[in-house]
C-alpha cells in the first residue's frame, strides 16, 4: 500500500484552465512538500507546508495542507505551458527526520 496517494495520476488540460491535484494519506505528517520535476531534471522544491489548515500561494499556485495534516492539494490558476511536469508531494513523519515519503506523482501536461 502507498503511504501517499496522488490523484489524478495523469492530467492534460488546455492552457488557461484551472486545475487541482491531490495528495492523500492515512498518516499524519509534521510537514509536507510539493516538488515539480521537468523531463530530464531532478525534482525542484515548490513549497513546504507545516501547519494544519495552512494555505500558501506562489503566484498562480495555491497549496493547502489539510486540517488533520494527512492530505494536501495544489491548485493552479490559468495554467501555462511552463507548468507542465511531474508534481510530487512528499511528507515528513517527524521534524528533522531525513526520510521523506514521496507520493505516486501527478503528470501534468498543459496544451497550448
* Footprint of another protein (CB under 8 A): 2, 4, 30-31, 33, 35, 40-45, 48, 50, 88, 90, 92, 95-105
Q: CA–CA separation, 11 vs 84, rounded Å? A: 10
Least distance to another protein, CB of residue 111, Å:
23
Identify which of residues 1 and 14 has a Cβ nearer to another protein in the complex. 1
* In the complex, minimum distance from the CB of residue 47 to another protein, in angstroms, rounded to a whole number: 10
Closer of 33 and 72 to another protein (Cβ): 33
Within 38-96, strands assigned E span: 44-49, 55-58, 61-65, 71-76, 85-92
Q: How far is the CB of 36 from another protein (least distance, A)?
A: 11
Q: How far is the CB of 13 from another protein (least distance, A)?
A: 22
Spatial CB neighbours of 70, under 8 Å, sequence gap ≥ 6:
24, 25, 26, 27, 28, 29
Select 15 or 93, whichever has its Cβ closest to another protein.
93
- What's the angle, vertex CA 33, arms to CA 47 and CA 66, rounded to 5? 100
Q: Given the C-alpha cell 515539480, which residue does it identify? A: 36
Considering the complex, state which of residue 66 and residue 103 has its C-beta at the smaller distance from another protein. Answer: 103
Amino acid at each position: 500500500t502507498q503511504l501517499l496517494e496522488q490523484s489524478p495520476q495523469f492530467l492534460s488540460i488546455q492552457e488557461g484552465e484551472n486545475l487541482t491535484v491531490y495528495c492523500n494519506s492515512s498518516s499524519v505528517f509534521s510537514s509536507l512538500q510539493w516538488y515539480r520535476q521537468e523531463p530530464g531534471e531532478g525534482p525542484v522544491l515548490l513549497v513546504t507546508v507545516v501547519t494544519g489548515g495552512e494555505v500558501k500561494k506562489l503566484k498562480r499556485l495555491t497549496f493547502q495542507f489539510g486540517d488533520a495534516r494527512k492530505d494536501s492539494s495544489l491548485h493552479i490558476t490559468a495554467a501555462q505551458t511552463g507548468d507542465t511536469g511531474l508534481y510530487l508531494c512528499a511528507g515528513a513523519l517527524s521534524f528533522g527526520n531525513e526520510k521523506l515519503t514521496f507520493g505516486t506523482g501527478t503528470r501534468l501536461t498543459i496544451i497550448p
